Structure 1
Amino acid sequence: MKPRLLGAALAALLALAPPSGRAQDVRFLCGFAAGGTCDILTRLLADKLGPVLNQRVVVENRTGAGGLIAAEFVARSAPDGNTVFLVSMANMTVMPVMPGTRMPIDVDRELTPIGMVANVYNVLVTGPQARFQDVPSLVALARAEPGRLTYASTGNGSSQHLAAALFERMAGVSLLHVPFRGGAPAIVEMTAGRVDMMFGNMPEFLGQIRGGGLRAVAYGAPRPSPLLPLPLIGETVPGFEMSSWFGVAGPANLPPAALDRWVGALRQVGADPDFQRRMTENAMEITLSGPDEFRTSIQRDRARWADVIQRSNIRAE
């Protein structure tokens, strides 16, 4: 074949091929900054989802408004299964019922719940020089000095604030809330002894606990932690359980085929032994559920937190 004809033939073949030569990338959004629980989980999932979906899964951190910036971006995206969001419990259950929160989208109508994927339990931490060593001594001290013991949070209406409000109500004590703009300054004040305690997600405290900067007092789960030998808060305050779950959501009107594909992919990842090991190492529990069960969990937890918010008179900043 003459060079000119060969070139024309190759050009025709290239025109028929897909523009990228491969499937479209999946955009997997995280609404929080790198290094936090949401970011860690998004990246663990993305690493395993790529081979299962046979697509490159790209993590995008779109931070702001407690994750609602990312949620709005996904809600406005094409419902083709190629843009999803690691949604937090707060996005779906707390923010919609929190006085003072401006919701840019209706999470029930503009997002498709695909499935819950993980649970992260709360741990109660203090600085090394705290005046109490365990939950019984904390409750006794708080009852002897109502409103004197302080707890840190990352702001009004945050998960740390809600966990402490739930503890106050169930333990029958009164504590003083000290909100900070972020977890780092709260931890600094605890280690310095200027704030007494904080309830928060275990993965975010592990480094400080292992380094000796913080002391873990008790675990907010219904069963012992596989990482730290801690008593359960519920042993002293019956029924107390505090966790933050994460799930995957897409835009509204996600086609049934795309939804089924994602549900199957998440179940396959959840069964991967390496993924299970890495989740345990990061203090996260795999809790896979399908869309219907996920919706039920959202409604149940929304009612629970609405009650805590109302009883404790909590309002967003």
Structure 2
Amino acid sequence: MKTTHRRGLAALLAAAAFLAPVASRAADPPFTRDIRFLNPFAPGGTSDLLGRILAEQLGKQVGQQVVVENRTGGGGVVATQELTRSNPDGHTILLASMGILTVTPQMQPLPYDVDRDIIPVTNIASVYNILVTGPNAPIRSWQDLARLAKERGRNTSCATVGAGSSQQLSCILFGALTGTTITQVPYRGGAPAILDISTGRVDVMFGNMPEFLGQIRDGGLRAVAYGAAEASPLIPDLPVISKDGLPGFVIPSWFGVVLPGRTPDAMVARWNAELNRAMQAPEVQRRFTENGLQMLGGTREDFQRQIAADRQRWGAIIREHNIRPE
């Protein structure tokens, strides 16, 4: 009798352990229609690539279509405002850049409050910052760029994707550290900027490596140097600016997912779980690696700490160098 009782109890415990995750998933707030995945930059750039990799995997997980919407303009302000105006029911998310959450709020008035109207969910990926130029340009090192900028003055140009972007900060910080002034040429995303750099209409761009890799491999762009803290394993022999005579030049860049303010905690928690699960998918990890995307993930609190740290860091640099939108 005791043996039978023990076996019955063991069976019940095993069943409970098996069903617990199912019950937990059943309690998750449901997705009842297509998900709008807002992207603040034009198709063809790093943000667009990252968003589409995630959307494909997330659609498989949540049982709904995850539709990427490119809402360009204002260096991300247009897409972010669209998010803050949406229904906070979890069916609209935004892939936010570092600039949107940490830099732009310190540089210009905004039609929303980044702390009140946006809920960070999780950080997704960091990317290497890289200096590129056209294949026929006379720039083969960061020192060449500094020399040309001193000789030409404002006739030297640098592509950006708007105020507060890592591209703009790179251009301005490089000028401040080298005693030069480089004219900024704003675009709605990395892809249209690449066209003008490759043809020589714009001299250089400090941008996100994933959107340059294809052109670098095909000879349409020349990789000059890294603006990150370390070299990338994809192009390990390329000089790192901060280790090649300009130690203050380190430009981190990352993209994370955010929800509208007032989104219920249960839905925020579900999105955190879904995004971290998506980043563990082998196909997502493969595509991240081959495109030079460094996977992050983690808790909401991890993401909030990263935002606070970068907001403090860039705030100090903005004030020190009197950086303003152009």
Whether TM-score is above 0.5 comes out as: yes
- Report the equivalent of 1:70: 79
When residues 92 and 136 of structure 1 are mapped into structure 2, their CA distance, relative to the original with a 3 A threshold, is same
Pairing 1:153–2:139 present: no
- Report the equivalent of 1:297: 306
Instruction: Note the C-alpha offset of 1:239.
Output: 5.0
1:259-285 Cα distance to aligned partner (Å, 9 max, x none):
111111111111112101111222211
1:266 to 266, 275, 279: 275
8 Å contact kept, 2:95–2:257: yes
Instruction: Note the C-alpha offset of 1:189.
Output: 5.6
Alignment partner of 1:114: what SS?
strand
Q: Once structures 1 and 2 are overlaid, which stretch shifts more, 52-61 or 186-195? A: 186-195
8 Å contact kept, 1:222–1:241: yes
- Report the equivalent of 2:212: 205
Pairing 1:32–2:41 present: yes
Q: How does 1:24-173 map to 2 (within 5 A)?
A: 24-99=33-108, 102-135=109-142, 141=147, 147=153, 150-154=156-160, 155=162, 157-170=164-177, 172-173=178-179
Unaligned stretches of 5+ residues in structure 2: 1-30
Amino acid at match of 1:152: C
Instruction: Note the C-alpha offset of 1:240.
Output: 3.1
Q: Percent identity?
A: 49
Unaligned stretches of 5+ residues in structure 1: 1-21
Pairing 1:245–2:254 present: yes
1:171-198 Cα distance to aligned partner (Å, 9 max, x none):
x442432424455675566445565432
Pairing 1:233–2:241 present: yes
TM-score normalised by length of structure 2: 0.79
- Distance (Å, rounded) in 2 between the aligned partners of 1:247 and 1:156: 19
When residues 157 and 109 of structure 1 are mapped into structure 2, their CA distance, relative to the original with a 3 A threshold, is closer
Taking only aligned residues, the RMSD between alpha carbons, in angstroms, comes to: 2.7
1:194-221 Cα distance to aligned partner (Å, 9 max, x none):
6543211112222322222321011222
8 Å contact kept, 2:100–2:164: no
When residues 79 and 209 of structure 1 are mapped into structure 2, their CA distance, relative to the original with a 3 A threshold, is same
- Report the equivalent of 1:177: 183
- Distance (Å, rounded) in 1 between the aligned partners of 2:70 and 2:137: 36
Amino acid at match of 2:111: P
Q: Once structures 1 and 2 are overlaid, which stretch shifts more, 277-286 or 160-169? A: 160-169
How many residues align? The count is 292
Amino acid at match of 1:214: L
Amino acid at match of 1:280: T
8 Å contact kept, 2:148–2:156: no
Instruction: Note the C-alpha offset of 1:61.
Output: 2.1
1:14-52 Cα distance to aligned partner (Å, 9 max, x none):
xxxxxxxx9322221112222222111111101111222
Amino acid at match of 1:174: T
TM-score normalised by length of structure 1: 0.81
8 Å contact kept, 2:98–2:166: no
8 Å contact kept, 1:162–1:308: no
